Structure 1
Amino acid sequence: MSTYIVVVDDEPDVAEMFRQQFRRDLRSGRFMLEFALSAPAALEQVKAIPDPSLILILSDINMPGMTGLEMLPKVKAERPNVPVIMITAYGDDATRTRAVELGAAGLLPKPIDFSLLRQEIEKRLERAA
């Protein structure tokens, strides 16, 4: 069974950055990365990935149209057991509090600390095993 992580960010170059950081994991098939350029697209992807294959959703907060914070309760309603970590360049206390209130498992500041993100992914992989 494949294990999926969905990354939601309106900046197309984010996908390449993630593929570079996790290229060994992707090549070995430890997990699959799916990318969505908008919150509505992410919601469709989340619906399409079968349980319990989806182990983590990483979402930017500031996106045009539906923001990551607006998407969060919708995705949690669809997949309540899948942790969502919000990613933002604006990691102030109010944003962090709002994200947690809406069900986020955490908040990562931009630029992304990929060693910290790798630790989060490892925890999710262990739980899914």
Structure 2
Amino acid sequence: MSVLVLVVDDEPDVEALFRQQFRKDLRAQRFVMDFAGSAADALARIGCTIEHSLILILSDINMPGMTGIEMLPRVKEIRPDVPVIMITAYGDAETRRKAIAGGAIGLLTKPIDFALLRDEIDTRLAQAS
């Protein structure tokens, strides 16, 4: 069974950026990356990850419709075992507090530190094996 990292972001260029940053990992099939363009799409995918072991969700906070913060409790209802890291351009203390209070394990600010994110994914892969 392959392991899955789900990225939730409404920006169309995010998928290309993540695929570029993790191209070696994806080519080596260390994990699969899936992308959801909205919180509603993410919630549907989270409930249907039968062929993959979902190990991490990375979600933008500011999205149209349901925000990432609003999505958090619903994710935790469906998959309480899966860690969520929120991503935002606004890394202020109040945003961090809301994310952690909602169940996120951390908050990354844009531009994303991909070395730090790679370490987090490596940790999740080690725990999944």
Distance 2:62 2:26 in 1: 27
Q: CA RMSD in A?
A: 1.0
Note if contact 2:87-2:110 (Cα within 8 Å) is conserved in structure 1.
yes
TM-score normalised according to structure 1 size: 0.98
Note if contact 2:4-2:52 (Cα within 8 Å) is conserved in structure 1.
no
What secondary structure does 1:25 align onto? helix
* Structure 1 residue 92 displacement after superposition: 0.4
Distance 1:93 1:50 in 2: 36
Gaps spanning 5+ residues in structure 2: where? Answer: none
Distance 2:5 2:20 in 1: 15
Q: CA-to-partner distance for each residue in 1:11-35, whole Å, 9 max, x for gaps? A: 0100000000000111111000000
Between the two proteins, the alignment pairs up a number of residues equal to 129
2:87 aligned with 1:121:
no
Distance 2:90 2:73 in 1: 20
The one-letter code matched in structure 1 to 2:36 is: A
Distance 2:52 2:81 in 1: 9
Distance 2:50 2:101 in 1: 26
Task: Report the equivalent of 2:27.
Answer: 27
Task: Report the equivalent of 1:73.
Answer: 73
Task: Report the equivalent of 1:92.
Answer: 92
TM-score normalised according to structure 2 size: 0.98
Note if contact 2:2-2:52 (Cα within 8 Å) is conserved in structure 1.
no
> Following superposition, which runs of at least 4 residues in structure 1 exceed 3 angstroms of deviation?
none
* Structure 1 residue 51 displacement after superposition: 8.2
Note if contact 2:2-2:51 (Cα within 8 Å) is conserved in structure 1.
no
**C-alpha spacing 1:51/1:91, structure 2 compared with 1 (3 Å):** farther
Gaps spanning 5+ residues in structure 1: where? Answer: none
The one-letter code matched in structure 2 to 1:116 is: L
Task: Report the equivalent of 1:7.
Answer: 7
What secondary structure does 1:96 align onto? helix
Distance 2:67 2:100 in 1: 15
